[in-house]
Structure 1
């Protein structure tokens, strides 16, 4: 007498796969916005730190030359000596390239400032004046 073995197929059914994909989509919908919220907060904090670092570099520039760079010279004066700068002792930043804000935009610099000795600011994620959250402006005078 021959014995036959019953062959059983193993694997997942289409219904089981759809249930798992549904659960993953549900979790992503709940967790995703929270992660993005924290990412926006991180960029805002990074911009504040960069504004403070650039402000400190501008203060070092003033100690050496007696005045802040003009608006025309801009923040580039922290990396490259302006032609009129006799006692320039830079570069005043560690990198040879001017940092961009966390949203990949240039920082705005005005001397003399309307709000302080100089105005140094970024317009946030939206690139417009004002805003809240990630769109808020980050400035040296705040």
Structure 2
């Protein structure tokens, strides 16, 4: 009795394996750059979302504690009487008891005077200016933003400001478009996002998070 038709041997030939590997390498070469580009393009979007979250956290913190914090850590970890607020003084115990955070959903290493990057999902670094800041229109350097009460007249109101570093010129422009709109072109004198450019990239960027009130 004749048995059923025989099928070919199991497995792949060397040529078939090489063809598959070649196809995979071509796909990787085509896809990876696109993914990397999309990731880079998404960084400013995530940074804008991070800044919005910090702004909301600062506002809620002020409502509860009655004063602004001096660093991002105070938004994430419960404050103590040894921590300083944005005025450079320590929190009174009655203010400590009013802390109802966390106001941002990131963890911080307790005890750091300056907490960088932890509140940001991007590669950018951010920190709260230690004291309220105001803008001096007669300067185009980092000193244009000085602590309130410093020498020279303020050309803006006082703000709790977030200092941001690590942005390229392209990243800053993208972030500026998201926060202030594409029509906003005077990047160091108008809008909520201000930059000071000395060279090919913004050396320092300030986000005017919340108007400062006592």
TM-score band, normalised by shorter chain: 0.5 to 0.7
CA shift in 2, pair 1:9/1:114, >3 Å: same
1:91 aligned residue? 101
Asked if 1:140 is matched to 2:178, the reply is no
C-alpha distance in 2, partners of 1:31/1:45?
A: 22
User: Which of the pair is proportionally richer in strand?
Assistant: 2
Note the residue ranges of structure 1 that are not aligned, 5 or more in a row: none
C-alpha distance in 2, partners of 1:54/1:34?
A: 30
Counterparts in 2 of 1:56-95, with a 5 A limit? 56-70=56-70, 74-78=71-75, 79-83=77-81, 84-85=91-92, 86-87=94-95, 88-93=98-103, 95=105
2:111 aligned residue? none
Contact 1:61 1:68 in 2 (8 A): yes
CA shift in 2, pair 1:29/1:47, >3 Å: same
User: Which of the pair is proportionally richer in helix?
Assistant: 1
RMSD between superposed Cα atoms in Å? 3.4
1:47 aligned residue? 47
C-alpha distance in 2, partners of 1:6/1:94?
A: 67
Q: TM-score, normalised by structure 1?
A: 0.67
Q: TM-score, normalised by structure 2?
A: 0.48
Asked if 1:117 is matched to 2:115, the reply is no
**Max radius of gyration: which structure?**
1
- Tell me how far 1:55 sits from its aligned partner: 1.0
